[in-house]
């Protein structure tokens, strides 16, 4: 009962908070030029994410150094919250599936804050996304991509898609591996989950503990090496995360 009450309160506060800021931003943007709108969107994004982390009781344990080198951040994928957590640490632009653009409130915020949408089944969309990634990195920003192409709850990653690593070699960009996992396995957004039921289940706890590790950039002109090395690094760290949590529970 307490869990349901807490998650309901958080959902209501979340919706009201996002609605007010989104509407205010939309009205204000009618009087701004494109450059001002883009700059202010990033400022608002940072403010929203920091506030949401507090509202939802996010407890993030960070390992490694936050990357200062621009590049292509590749991470394993557990939940829609993964890119939110990464963006709370650094200024980067996530790649997301096109369906998210149609989500109420969330979709609008994603659009104005630089999310790069891709329709994975469409060759033209994938090529356009690659071109956008190249431009963003060449402009001095990082891009977040999830090469698994989907969320999963397995102990380690599923097969990585090749495209991200090929793009990195084409523009001579660094690959920055990131491992991320949630202490409670059911916090993963997988299968037939829909947003609100998952939100209620995930954020009914006082805190949601997440571990994240940023690894040093990897630079190579060999896409196969980048893929294999990144996946091995991330898999090893995911195993360490779970082992540490299991040891905590046994003590």
Per cent of the chain over pLDDT 90 is 68
Q: Are the C-beta atoms of residues 153 and 188 closer than 8 Å to each other? A: yes
52-66 average pLDDT score: 96
* 3-class DSSP state of 221: coil
In the predicted model, is pLDDT for residue 124 greater than 80?
no
Instruction: Name the class of domain 60-191+206-250.
Output: alpha beta
d(CA 182, CA 80): 12
What residues contact 28, with CB distance under 8 A and at least 6 apart? 40
In the 8-state DSSP scheme, what is residue 186?
G
Helix, strand or coil for residue 176?
A: strand
d(CA 109, CA 104): 9
Q: What angle do CA 72, 144, 81 make, to 5 degrees?
A: 155
pLDDT tens-place string over residues 108-123: 878 877 888 887 666 6
Asked if residues 233 and 215 have their Cβ atoms less than 8 Å apart, the reply is: yes
Q: How far apart are CA 10 and CA 175, in angstroms?
A: 36
**pLDDT at position 223:** 97
Predicted TM-score of the model (pTM): 0.92
Cα angle 145-146-150, degrees, rounded to a multiple of 5: 140
Distance, in Å, from the CA atom of 232 to the CA atom of 239, rounded to the nearest integer, reads 11
Residue 239: count other Cβ atoms within 10 Å of its Cβ. 14
pLDDT digits (tens, 9 = 90+) for 70-108: 999 999 999 989 999 999 999 899 988 777 777 777 788
All structural domains of the chain with their residue ranges: 60-191+206-250
């Amino acid at each position: 009962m307490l869990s349901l009450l807490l998650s309901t309160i958080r959902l209501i506060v979340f919706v009201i908070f996002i609605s007010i800021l989104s509407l205010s931003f939309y009205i204000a943007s009618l009087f701004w030029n494109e450059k001002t709108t883009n700059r202010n969107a990033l400022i608002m994004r940072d403010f929203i994410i920091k506030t949401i982390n507090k509202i939802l009781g996010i407890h993030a344990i960070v390992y490694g150094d936050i990357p200062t080198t621009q590049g292509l951040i590749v991470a394993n994928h557990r939940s829609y919250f993964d890119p939110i957590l990464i963006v709370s640490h650094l200024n980067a632009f996530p790649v997301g599936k096109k369906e998210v653009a149609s989500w109420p409130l969330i979709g609008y915020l994603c659009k104005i804050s630089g999310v790069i949408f891709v329709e994975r089944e469409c060759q033209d969309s994938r090529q356009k996304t690659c071109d956008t990634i190249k431009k963003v990195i060449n402009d001095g920003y990082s891009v977040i991509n999830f090469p698994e192409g989907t969320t999963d709850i397995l102990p380690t990653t599923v097969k990585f898609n090749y495209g991200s690593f090929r793009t990195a070699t084409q523009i001579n960009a660094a690959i920055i591996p990131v491992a991320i996992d949630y202490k409670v396995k059911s916090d993963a957004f997988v299968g037939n989950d829909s947003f609100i039921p998952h939100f209620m289940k995930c954020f009914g706890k006082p805190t949601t503990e997440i571990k994240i590790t940023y690894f040093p950039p990897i630079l190579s002109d060999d896409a196969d090496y980048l893929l294999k090395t990144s996946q091995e690094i991330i898999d090893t760290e995911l195993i360490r995360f779970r082992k540490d949590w299991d040891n905590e529970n046994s003590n």
